[in-house]
Amino acid sequence: MPRPFHFRPRIFLLTGACLLAGSALASEFWLTAPRFFVAPGSLLNLRVLVGENFTGKRWPGKSARVTQLTHYAPDGPTDLLPGAATADTLHPVLQLRQPGVHMVALATNNTFTTLDADQFNAYLKAAGLDQILLERQKRGSISKPGREAYRRCAKTLLQAGTPSPSDTARAWSRPAGQPLEFVPEQNPYTLRAGASLTVRVLVGGQPKPGQLVQIWQRSPGRPASVFKLYSNQNGRVLFRLREPGEYMLSAVQMLPATLAEADWQSTWATLTFGFRPVSGL
């Protein structure tokens, strides 16, 4: 059994230029669909969004930035990248032919940015990257601009047909080989209201202890809510699915960069899914 998880809320107040400059970098990046629950055979136009507070606009990035776009169906994975790369902008279209849970994983390459010292420090604080602030102090670079390379990873889970506890394909639990990713240990589409969901945080395929994870929840007609957890020594977070709607987990990791163009490398990851409490399974 996982050890207890401790809720450590953090509230940050930023003002003026610091807030505006940091918001673009601290924005979430996620995959979603018009519906998380569809009939087998349905065709879906996936959406790649970027924004804050679980409210986003279409990602303006080009298809050339995408390094992974994989559909994990119950009968196995399909690489969608060759087809997506033929267009300048990314508009993934997916057909869910088989009943069961389908997962889509997307990753991008790096893009680079530089912020002045105050802006970069405020951005680190807002993103919960206090250890990087401490490292900048140790390096004597706290008053220097922040040069960052950042990349994005996103996964979404979609349910085709009636959820079944005998879904032995377990596409929802497959690691996608992303540098930072979430891997559920239960199928969220077969859980009852108030049930617990355990999710592993992996960095390079290995469990990441002490990782700050934000969990967003949005129900129809209500504003999104968010709470924060830290992964335990086995890289797990555990939380209850209390309300129906849409969920998003997000995390960011930053390390010293090995690139000439940047001092810091950040990797952002999200996982989205819908929740409709089941009964009688």
CA of 259: how far to CAs of 144, 146, 175, 200, 255, in Å?
A: 18, 14, 27, 29, 11
- pLDDT for 168 equals 87
Q: What's the whole-number average pLDDT of the chain?
A: 89
Residue 86: pLDDT above 80?
no
Residue 48: both structure tokens together: 């790649």
What's this model's pTM, rounded to 2 decimal places?
0.89
What mean pLDDT do residues 193-211 have? 98
What mean pLDDT do residues 117-121 have? 97
Q: What is the pLDDT of residues 249-275, one digit of tens each?
A: 999 999 999 999 999 999 999 999 999
- pLDDT for 278 equals 84
Residue 197: pLDDT above 60?
yes
Q: Are 251 and 268 in contact (CB under 8 A)?
A: yes
d(Cα 77, Cα 239) in Å, to the nearest integer?
28
Q: What is the pLDDT of residues 166-195, one digit of tens each?
A: 888 999 999 999 999 999 999 999 999 999
- pLDDT for 6 equals 39
Looking at per-residue pLDDT, the higher value among 4 and 73 belongs to: 73
- pLDDT for 110 equals 97
Residue 72: pLDDT above 80?
yes
d(Cα 224, Cα 246) in Å, to the nearest integer?
9
> Could you tell me if residue 76 is left (phi over 0), alpha (psi between -120 and 50 degrees) or otherwise beta?
left
Q: What is the CA angle 70-76-80, rounded to 5?
A: 25
- pLDDT for 90 equals 78
d(Cα 72, Cα 67) in Å, to the nearest integer?
16
Looking at per-residue pLDDT, the higher value among 169 and 4 belongs to: 169
User: How many Å from the N-terminal Cα to the C-terminal Cα in the chain?
Assistant: 23
Please tell me whether residue 215 adopts helix, strand or coil conformation. Answer: strand
- pLDDT for 24 equals 53
d(Cα 180, Cα 176) in Å, to the nearest integer?
10
